[in-house]
């Protein structure tokens, strides 16, 4: 089932809870697309007594709570437009890896929520729910996490060997290709599982980082975001604090597909029709602060590198981002993709 790299839990300074404003801003910019997408495409029956929404890869909040409120608001609006005199009872299923900090997620649940709240531990690359049990499946900034980094990246005999780097930006074409293949496998297992779980008339809504059509993987990626971290690690290799083989065998399991690539994978799977496949409004974003970097990557770094280098690594980090301007798509950064899928009958 691949590996699990949770966002940092708790509510301390390095927690995802305190360091997810970028994801929040991107989701906020998608709100009107989400609302109109639901109003246009969702089929909701007069007789529906329950309405189940799942957030796959929800982390610890608060972003997921904002998204779920937006979703329920849009479904409510749809029911009102249809003239239904009563609303269904909403159920929200919050999913993430078993190692996600569900205790913090639950402690942060909005007390005035208009839904029954459930936690669902497990990888979304496998089945998580009974057949046809979900009316909306939502996933925001989670599908770019691969189930694992492609194994050939660490194989010195492979043309996809990613020596001295931790990512595919600035890497030979074969490295990006290996990432792309792993994404295709993960997306297929994701779509196959969701096709079982989505109820008739329901929607799957995906927000994720991607790249413009006609670009190579290395041209627009999360690379600019990861570069300061990579640079700290390579400095530590030069200073012989980290051994060569340690960095050679470490690769960030993140990938940003092009719209075309995503479209082909959805068509190949064959269970879903594409109702929308659009880009989010362009954003310029600051390089991640040391807190944000720890929130996203400390768990995966600790798993691979010796614990004793972690504090040193993050001590070096602030100098790498000091004074650097925000990044945007023209710097080789990702663009935001917005997808709405319907189940083919």
Query: Which two structure tokens, joined as six digits, stand for 329?
Result: 């798509």
The smaller minimum CB distance to a second copy, of residues 106 and 305, is found at 106
- Which of the 8 DSSP states describes residue 326? P
Contact 253, 146 (CB under 8 A): yes
The smaller minimum CB distance to a second copy, of residues 39 and 107, is found at 107
Distance of alpha carbon 243 from alpha carbon 249, whole angstroms: 10
The residue among 85, 107, 14 whose CA lies nearest residue 297 is 14
For the CB of residue 200, give the shortest distance to a second copy in the complex, in Å. Answer: 13
Distance of alpha carbon 37 from alpha carbon 31, whole angstroms: 10
Residue from 73, 106, 158, 279 touching a second copy (CB under 8 A): that is: 106
Query: Which two structure tokens, joined as six digits, stand for 201?
Result: 């008339």
The smaller minimum CB distance to a second copy, of residues 114 and 264, is found at 114
Q: Does 107 bind a second copy (CB under 8 A)?
A: yes
Q: Does 116 bind a second copy (CB under 8 A)?
A: yes
For the CB of residue 298, give the shortest distance to a second copy in the complex, in Å. Answer: 17
Q: Reduce the DSSP state of residue 312 to 3 states and report it.
A: helix
Cα–Cα distance list, 47 to 74, 201, 259 (Å): 18, 13, 37
Burial of residue 140, with CB atoms counted within 10 A of its CB: 0-12 exposed, 13-18 middle, 19 or more buried? buried
The smaller minimum CB distance to a second copy, of residues 59 and 251, is found at 59
Residue from 128, 153, 222, 341 touching a second copy (CB under 8 A): that is: 128
For the CB of residue 60, give the shortest distance to a second copy in the complex, in Å. Answer: 11
Q: Does 5 bind a second copy (CB under 8 A)?
A: no
Q: Which stretch binds a second copy (CB under 8 A): 130-138, 155-163, 213-221, 310-318?
A: 130-138
For the CB of residue 263, give the shortest distance to a second copy in the complex, in Å. Answer: 31
Residue from 40, 45, 80, 89 touching a second copy (CB under 8 A): that is: 89
Q: Does 118 bind a second copy (CB under 8 A)?
A: yes
Q: Does 120 bind a second copy (CB under 8 A)?
A: yes
Contact 109, 85 (CB under 8 A): no
The smaller minimum CB distance to a second copy, of residues 54 and 153, is found at 54
Cα–Cα distance list, 13 to 18, 69, 70, 291, 295 (Å): 6, 26, 27, 6, 9
Residue from 32, 36, 103, 170 touching a second copy (CB under 8 A): that is: 103
For the CB of residue 121, give the shortest distance to a second copy in the complex, in Å. Answer: 4
Q: Does 45 bind a second copy (CB under 8 A)?
A: no
Q: Does 93 bind a second copy (CB under 8 A)?
A: yes
Q: Does 133 bind a second copy (CB under 8 A)?
A: yes
Distance of alpha carbon 219 from alpha carbon 170, whole angstroms: 8
Strands 89-96, 50-56: pairing is parallel
3-state secondary structure 254-300: ECCCEHHHHHHHHHHHCCEEEEEEEECCCCCECCCCHHHHHHHHHHH
Q: Does 243 bind a second copy (CB under 8 A)?
A: no
Interface residues with a second copy (CB under 8 A)? 49-50, 89, 91, 93, 98-99, 101-103, 106-107, 109, 116-122, 127-131, 133
């Amino acid at each position: 089932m691949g590996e699990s790299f949770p966002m940092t839990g708790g509510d301390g300074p390095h927690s995802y809870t305190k360091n997810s404003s970028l994801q929040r801003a991107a989701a906020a910019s998608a709100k009107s697309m989400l609302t109109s997408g639901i109003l246009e495409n969702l089929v909701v029956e007069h007789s529906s007594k329950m309405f189940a929404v799942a957030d796959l890869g929800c982390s610890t909040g608060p972003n997921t709570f904002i998204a779920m409120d937006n979703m329920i608001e849009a479904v409510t609006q749809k029911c009102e437009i249809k003239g239904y005199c009563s609303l269904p009872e909403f159920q929200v299923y919050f999913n993430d890896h078993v190692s996600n900090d569900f205790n913090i997620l639950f402690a942060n649940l909005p007390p005035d929520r208009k839904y029954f709240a459930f936690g669902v531990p497990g990888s979304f690359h496998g089945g998580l729910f009974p057949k046809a049990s979900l009316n909306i499946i939502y996933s925001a900034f989670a599908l770019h996490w691969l189930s694992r980094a492609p194994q050939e990246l660490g194989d010195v005999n492979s043309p996809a060997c990613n020596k001295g780097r931790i990512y595919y930006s600035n890497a030979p074409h074969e490295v990006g290709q290996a990432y792309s293949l792993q994404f295709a496998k993960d997306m297929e297992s994701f779509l196959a599982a969701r096709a079982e779980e989505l109820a008739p008339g329901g929607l799957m809504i995906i927000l994720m980082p991607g790249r413009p059509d006609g670009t190579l993987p290395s041209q627009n990626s999360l690379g600019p975001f990861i570069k300061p971290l990579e640079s700290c690690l390579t400095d530590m290799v030069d200073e012989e604090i980290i051994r060569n083989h340690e960095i050679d065998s470490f690769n960030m399991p993140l990938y940003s597909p092009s719209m075309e690539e995503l479209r082909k994978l959805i068509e190949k799977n064959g269970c879903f029709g594409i109702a929308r496949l659009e880009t989010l409004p362009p954003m310029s974003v600051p390089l991640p602060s040391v807190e944000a970097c720890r929130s996203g990557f400390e768990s995966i770094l600790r798993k691979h590198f010796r614990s004793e280098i972690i504090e040193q690594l993050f001590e070096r980090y602030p100098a790498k981002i000091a004074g650097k301007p925000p990044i945007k798509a023209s710097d080789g950064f990702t663009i935001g993709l917005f997808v709405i899928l319907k189940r083919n009958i």
